[in-house]
Amino acid sequence: MDYIALGHHKDDQAETVLHRILRGSGFTGLAGIYPNKNGIIHPLLDFSKEQILDFLKQKEIEFCVDKTNLISNYTRNKIRNELLPLIKNDFNPNFEQKLIEYGNLFHLAENYFVKQTKKDFKKALITRTESEIYLDLEEIKGSFEILNFYIFKEAWSILSGDDKDFYSIHFQDIMEIVNSDSGFKEIHLPENIVVMKDCQHLIFRRGDIFKPLEKEKYKVLADFRKSFSFNEYRFTLSKSKSLGDLQLKTDSNCQIVIDLDKVVFPITFRYRSDGDRFIPFGRNSFKKLKDFFIDEKVSMLEKDNIVILADAEKIIWVSGYRLDNRVAVSNETKNFLHVKYENTDEFKSRSAERKIRIGRG
């Protein structure tokens, strides 16, 4: 591997730490100049400017001086030429060494937090794509804020492609929406990064490349059909004259049994629409689907992926959540319809495992 060697020395380190303190940097900045980072090395950081000059004089090595360093027109030069001498003369003659020690401590702290963040980020991560990162909101709320800073910075870095330009002000803005009582809120940060919150997730999204997945918007069943696929789900339907003839998993919320005679074909499989309402099982009055999702604490990620079954007149089932009371079975039910679904990826995985077992047998 090739390296680029730079000549920054101990005095530069002290100036850098003080400069970043005045600028309001976090641990990353307060760690100062790294001895070795991304192929850039600083072999002279352990030596002061005075030591280097003495060495050059002893070896009779010529060197040049950048005269612009003597002009206090720039912030860093003003720190070097005016502020540091003032502090050393009037307050603490060892102030430069203290700054370097602080920088070393911040460097150690930074290394720890970066290492710990790798574990915490994986723990909080729900899903990740090229343009989105979903984090578990409860994990975030239960973590120390300093670790959250690094978790957010990691999400920022993944989407922006750079670990720079994430500052404490950005962290504070994100924590404000984390702690907000609002069910949904978002903020816009540099690099086209949008951070938003729903009831279960903290979402980082890169606005310039985000594109919702193309999905089939609906599927219509004009008459009974045993099985079919709708986007990432596989639905299976079966009819029976007796509830006892149906194979049911009592602990599954991915299936329902309805009174077939109360269904008016065609059945449409779709996603939520504005104005949707239904009569949840166990109730006798309508409820807006929007309010139902709020009460059930359904996240924004889930809302857009819940399949709604509706016949020609009404919603039949909010899949995975609640049956409509108008199609519920009763003692008078004569024809039963069993509907169940599963994720096609899970179905394919089980099919592959079954084929392997058969092949081995």
Tens digits of per-residue pLDDT, 79-104? 989 999 999 999 999 999 999 998 88
Same domain, 233 and 197: no
Which of 156, 184, 206 terminates a domain? The answer is 206
Residue 118 covered by a domain: no
* Percent over 90 (pLDDT), the chain: 42
How far apart are the C-alpha atoms of 212 and 342, rounded to whole Å?
Answer: 22
Q: By mean pLDDT, which of 204-208, 210-214, 217-221, 281-285 is the weakest?
A: 210-214
Same domain, 145 and 12: no
Same domain, 185 and 235: no
Alpha helices in 161-264 (DSSP H): 168-178
How far apart are the C-alpha atoms of 169 and 308, rounded to whole Å?
Answer: 42
Same domain, 252 and 345: yes
Tokens, residue 14:
């002290």
Beta bridge partners of 341: 235
Residue 281 covered by a domain: yes
SS3 355: helix
Same domain, 30 and 59: yes
Q: Are 34 and 108 in contact (CB under 8 A)?
A: no
Better pLDDT: 22 or 24: 22
Same domain, 19 and 133: no
Residue 87 covered by a domain: yes
Nearest to 303 by CA among 330, 271, 275: 271
Same domain, 262 and 157: no
What pLDDT, in 10s, does the model give residues 244-275? 766 666 556 788 999 999 999 999 999 999 99
The residue segments making up the domain with residue 192 are 129-206
